[in-house]
Structure 1
Amino acid sequence: MSPVRHSQVSLLHIVDRSTHAWEAEASGMGRIFGSLAAGAAEPDPAELAAVSARQRHGGPDGHQVLRGPGWALGCDRLAVSDPRGGRQPYRLAHLPGVVAVLGGEIYNHAELRRELAARGHRFPDLCDGTLLPALYAEYGTGFARRLDGMFAVAVLDVRAAPRLVLAVDPMGGRPLHYHQGADGAFRFASEIPALLAFDGVRAAPRADSLDTVLALRTPISARTALEGISALPPGATAVVHPGRPAALRRRPPAPEDPERGRRSTADVLRREVRRLARADVPVCVLTSGGLASGLVTALAAEYAREAGAPAPHGFHLGYRGRWPGGEAAYARAVARHTRTVHHEVALDPAELGSLLTLTTRHLGQPDADPAALSTYALFRAVRRAGYSVALTGDGADELFGADARTRPAGTGPFTADWAAAYTDGLAAAPRLLREYLYTPDYRAFIEEEGSAADRVERELRSAGGDRLAAVAAFEGRWRLPSRHLRRLDHLGMASAVEARTPFCRPSVAAHARALPPRLLQDRRALAEAGRELLPKAVRRRPRQPFALPVTAMLAPGGPLLEPVRELLSAERLARAGQVRPDRVRTLLARQLERPSDRDALALWALATHELWTEVVRGMRVPADCAA
């Protein structure tokens, strides 16, 4: 096997874009936005320009807005395929009055185009989104049921009474946020900072947002951390008429694949990796050193060899200095075994303080997972190296995993409070620690309103007797899209990189749901899939999530200690009135004396929420959030 080829972040080179497109498939990734209101006044172009500017980092290759009486529709495009085609918003000459925008990709567009052409529709190019007006004309508000892809779509029909239809893919891989004002005006955008640039959308943090962050690390539902702003649920369609509340409905799942039971886990994943590896721009792989990312790396390399293409480039993030939990040796083992071109990105921990503010701005919602900073830094390095598409192993734990978080549902006594034990596994601060930190007024408020953790527990308990099935359904429906996929989308697109997740394809999720429980214990199905693809050391290593060593970095002399100490000053905390500054100070002192993962994560969650509150309140002043 060829040796691993390393390149530190300062030495990463711009690759030749002409040699890394394994197979052409037209599409136009990017960000979308728009509005619909009663009345004949056209939206203010300056306001629409401010909205576009807030998310242009995710669509630097083209900007276009159409507007008319009471409506607007716009797109900021990232051209990952067919760069010369696919001008958005999409319009067809024979369908005046139907306009569409697409963020994401439609994988079955060639099949749909043939079907629609047979019905008399004509298309000016081969871009996947070009067919959306015709598909809507044929199937109406149910058009999204025909789409296979990773997408957020908006179709505006002004042929009669205006109607706006929004849809997101079944796994929630491309988020869409919306706000409906008291006057009935409906506004939407791919990112919350862009939505806040609309007049009439307030930047008002919910009173329970801190409790949500401490209990779940980030909002895990369609309700965001901001008053009046919601996220379209995975697999949902919204139909909006001027001045009327949006009508939301979940689309039924796609029909089962009759061949699914005959395919192995490796074959199901292989099919999706090959599909997602196609683009007209360079495609790379994120190689953490774990089992899931290793499988994606191995299958991408296998496909490249069979296609006669150069070996894929893989990227791994580490930190300068000596820090616990490093996975570089495992990532190198994967690269050697799969014969990829391996890049190690060495992040200077001194940069983390500035990255925290950038990451917070791009996420739009509070997120207490320290991995967010690592994710931002890794995608930034990928883009600097000339890539705009990256394959990742995200989603494997939620679908194939059974880690410590889900064990209470599978192994605890039936009479035990397994739902509370599972929910505490999600927390940045366990329930008793939260109650210790809260002021009496805030504790009383949460007891009266109910905690986000309480809502999760009620949903789990109401699902019936199959506890593992209840947890799997919750993780797939809410935790995976709200936590992992939203982070990948926002922090990848912050650097104009499209993250593609083979594990988060509906076919892979359906395959995982059909596996016997024994194959989901300790990710046995994935280990078996990697038997011929990965070295034994990687297949058998304990699970280790992609993370930032926050405990060590909050220890005395650590690079994150001063930023966190500043964010948790007594003056700031007293101003908010939600936690007791003296008890936060005690928690910090305990962390400095006896560093622990629990205390470090709680402090990190408190600090990131405080920073988010300040950042989001400043978003009402138009500003460029791009880094």
Structure 2
Amino acid sequence: MCRIYGTFNVHSDEAELRRVADLMHHGGPDAQGVTHRADWALGNNRLSIMDPEGGAQPYHLGRITVVFNGEIYNHRELRERLTGLGFHFDDQCDGSILPALYLTYGDRFAEQLDGMYSVAVMDLRSTPRMVLATDDSGMKPLYYHWERAAGRFRFASELPALLGFTGVRAEEDETGLDAYLTSKTPFGDRTMFRGVRVLPPAATAVVSHRDGLRIRHRPMAHEQGLRPDEGRSLEQAGEQLRALLSDEVARLLVADAPVAAVTSGGLDSSLVTALAARALRAGGGHGSLHTFNIAYTGTWPSDERAYAAEVARASGTRHHQVEIDPATFPDLMGDVVRHLGQPNADPITLSTFSLFRAVRDAGFKVALTGDAADELFGGYARMTQAVAAHHGSDWAEDYLDHLAAVPRALRESLYTDEYAFAVRAAGPALPADIRQILRSSPGTRLQRIAAVEQRYRLPAYHLRRVDHLSMASSIEVRLPFCQPSVVRFAATLTDSHRLVPGLGVKRALYQAAGGLIPRSVLDRPKQPFTLPVTAMLAPGQPLWALARDVLSPNTLRADGRIRPERVAALFEEQAVRPGDSVSLALWSLMSHQLWRQEFFATAATTAPAALRTADRVLLEAA
């Protein structure tokens, strides 16, 4: 696991490259390496997980140079195959096979990989070209800045590091606020910064002097023509899924560094925990699996620590109960916003950051989690509601509204006239094909929803958050549910094996977990693993004071996009009648303003350029 960065057709001196590397030191504190020439560079910060004594990056083979972030779980099979073709390897590190793999398969090398990764290759054999690739689920982000006219390209694993390049300015995408409130973070390749993009999942990009930047989208694991197995019973599906997850969890336990598991007390992480503990016992491993759960000082709704402890006892793990004081949240917010690089509207960000910091402090470098099961197996209430909606209803728009940090009607009431004008002029905040997928793509309604969740929401909103907030504490997160074999298996499930309104969600997964985790966990109502923000955003609480300060009328008037009087009304409503919709709206607006303060020195006093332009247009029209 590492952090990577680089340039093409750009001259960077050592000081600039060192600055970019230092901005990601937390993600690769064990070693640093860089290769740079007059017009290109590739650099790496290493978190040593596999073969700590080997695997020094960048990797070199002839006129090929490679840097890599992630884990390749099938590296042994690939090494054996490549050795048979005449290649020689000096160590057993997973990334060492990449130069030979690229020489053998060219731009299609990523199709051979099973794992989580972002890879950058500099090929100098003839015309210089840089090739970059991301994994099928988007577990390892790669942000880039492309100057088309000049042909200059820069990339990095994290947004603050990319902004560390001299030629990349931190300029706000003025309508990014609308995109953020519409989907809790920008979807697709969009970011909150002008001119900065993120490579989508399953993407291969090639940069050259002749052709510029070209991006090819490989089929994601769930897009490979798989069909539901109509002849399989729910019991059979559960047995097959349990066997598959058992194999994948066992593979993901292999590391040359201590491995732990995150146990929230819900189905997904509990199943991963149970399978990991069983795999360690079966493999004759010494000691027990260590598990971690997070809770909050005081008495709060949706506290899951008792369920997590019960799972730990049943699985025989050494359990660590992490507890954080809500009084520390205002100070934590700055760290979280900085490491994310752009707003993410889920209050779980504070919990996630604090939990992985505790995992690190306990001496671990790798953690298994249950992330992505809901997207694959049909675990969200919005999915059930969309499937159950009457055929004459506008279920697709209702479903999209459930993805929002602020529902459409409330969102539109918050915008000033100038910002509403700018938003209309900019066009839809969501990628253009999302509505097309939902309304007219082949497959059932649930299959179309799953396609949107896996291509857009999971990588942007979920996986990038997990990656950035775990690597902030030098923790590599491994995600069994994102393994290609598991994603492909989910695509073969019938709708009824995912969810049936009135009967339950994630039915195949519950079937797989039967007998492995306590009945109390299996039978309890599903609840999200998140911060109880509705209860915590209340008068007298630290988050309330922070939100009132950050969303002051003067700040909002200077920003020019949000009506101060409408925000004041939200505070009044939350104080009298606390509710999830209002509390999330206030949290989201607060997070956005904190992000502006972190990355734009004039955020509190300067309205975005688009609003000044919109103002002029309105005045001229008048």
User: Same fold by TM-score, threshold 0.5 exceeded?
Assistant: yes
Distance 2:520 2:26 in 1: 39
Aligned to 1:493: 471
The corresponding residue for 2:447 is 469
Q: Which residue of 1 aligns with 2:2?
A: 30
1:557 maps to: 540
1:502 matched to which residue of 2? Answer: 480
Aligned to 1:270: 246
The answer to whether the Cα contact below 8 Å between 1:37 and 1:243 also exists between their aligned partners in 2 is no
Q: 1:464 offset after TM fit, Å?
A: 4.6
Partner residue in 2 for 1:314: 291
What one-letter code is carried by the residue in structure 1 that aligns with 2:33? Q
Provide the C-alpha distance between the structure 2 equivalents of 1:278 and 1:71, rounded to a whole number of angstroms: 35
Render the CA deviation track for 1:482-533: whole Å, top value 9, x for unaligned: 1111011000000000011101111111111211212211111111111120
Change over 3 Å in CA distance of 1:144–1:465 after alignment to 2:
closer
Letter in 1 for 2:495: P
Judged with a 3 Å threshold, the aligned counterparts in structure 2 of structure 1 residues 454 and 121 are, in CA distance, closer, same or farther, namely closer
Q: CA deviation at 1:453?
A: 4.7
* 1:355–1:158 Cα change, 3 Å: same
Q: Which position in structure 1 is the counterpart of 2:65?
A: 99
Unaligned runs of 5+ in 1: 1-28, 621-627
Deviation at 1:294, TM superposition (A): 0.4
Q: C-alpha separation between the residues in 2 aligned to 1:526 and 1:465?
A: 22
- Match of 1:215, SS? helix
Change (3 A) 1:454 1:478: closer
CA distance in 1, matches of 2:538, 2:440: 42
Q: Which amino acid aligns with 1:282?
A: P
Q: 1:581 deviation in Å?
A: 0.7
In structure 2, list runs of 5 or more residues that go unmatched. 500-504, 604-622
Cα distance in structure 2, aligned partners of 1:284 and 1:617: 37
Partners of 2:50 and 2:94 within 8 A in 1: no
Q: 1:590 pairs with 550, 573, 579, which one?
A: 573
Work out whether residues 60 and 496 of structure 1, in 8 Å CA contact, stay in contact via their aligned partners in 2: yes
Is 1:279–2:251 an aligned residue pair?
Answer: no
1:601 equivalent among 559, 564, 584: 584
Matches of 1:512 and 1:252 in 2, distance apart? 16
Aligned partners of 2:5 and 2:156 also within 8 Å? yes
Residue of structure 2 in register with 1:113 after alignment = 79
Q: How far off is 1:450 after superposition? A: 2.5
Please name the residue that 1:569 is paired with.
552
- In 2, the alpha carbon distance for the partners of 1:494 and 1:554 equals 26
- What residue in structure 1 maps to residue 490 of structure 2? 512
Alignment of 1:380-529 (within 5 A): 380-453=357-430, 455=432, 456-464=434-442, 466-521=444-499, 522-529=505-512
- Cα distance in 1 between the residues matched to 2:310 and 2:410: 41
SS across alignment from 2:16 = helix
How many Å separate the matches in 1 of 2:465 and 2:602? 19
Matched residue type, 2:164: A
Q: Distance in 2 between matches of 1:460 and 1:54?
A: 39
Percent identical pairs in the alignment equals: 50
What is the deviation of 1:553?
A: 0.9
- Cα distance in 2 for partners of 1:265, 1:452 equals 37
Mapped pair 1:359 → 2:303: no
Is 1:125 aligned to residue 91 of structure 2? yes
Query: Using a 3 Å threshold, how does the CA distance of structure 1 residues 328 and 253 change in structure 2: closer, same or farther?
Result: closer
Tell me how far apart the structure 2 counterparts of residues 509 and 74 of structure 1 sit (CA, whole Å): 31
Q: In structure 2, do the counterparts of structure 1 residues 610 and 63 end up closer, same or farther at CA, with 3 Å as the change threshold?
A: same
In 2, Cα distance between equivalents of 1:167 and 1:358:
29
Alignment-derived partner of residue 246 in structure 1: 213
Contact 1:274/1:300, CA 8 A, preserved across alignment: yes
Normalized against structure 2, the TM-score is what? 0.91
SS at match of 1:264: helix
| Equivalent in 337, 349, 369 of residue 314 of structure 2 | 337
Measured after TM superposition, the shift of residue 548 of structure 1 is 0.4
Q: 2:196 aligns with which of 229, 235, 238?
A: 229
Matched, 1:540 2:512: no
User: How many pairs does the alignment contain?
Assistant: 585
Deviation readout 1:245-304 (Å, 9 max, x if unpaired): 31100124567999x988611111111111111101110000000000000000000001
1:619 deviates by 12
- Distance, in Å, in 2 between the alignment partners of 1:253 and 1:374 is 30
Of 155, 158, 164 in structure 2, the residue corresponding to residue 188 of structure 1 is 155
Structure 1 position 31, deviation (Å): 0.3
Aligned partner of 1:623 in structure 2 is: none
Deviation, 1:187, is: 0.4
State how far apart, in whole Å, the 1-side matches of 2:350 and 2:210 are.
40
Give CA deviations for 1:526-571 in whole Å, capped at 9, x if unaligned.
1111112011110111111110011111111112011111110111
Q: 1:207 and 2:168 equivalent?
A: no
Q: Distance in 1 between matches of 2:36 and 2:82?
A: 27
CA distance in 1, matches of 2:557, 2:400: 28
Give yes or no for contact 1:423–1:453 (8 Å, CA) kept in 2.
no
State the superposition RMSD in angstroms: 1.9
Name the CA distance, whole Å, in 2 between partners of 1:213 and 1:554: 20
Paired with 1:257 and 1:86, the residues of 2 have a C-alpha distance of 36
Report the secondary structure of 2:343's partner residue.
coil
Deviation (angstroms), 1:244 = 4.6
Task: Please list the CA deviations of residues 443-477 of structure 1 after superposition, one character each: whole Å capped at 9, or x if unmatched.
Answer: 12222322325844344224256321111001111
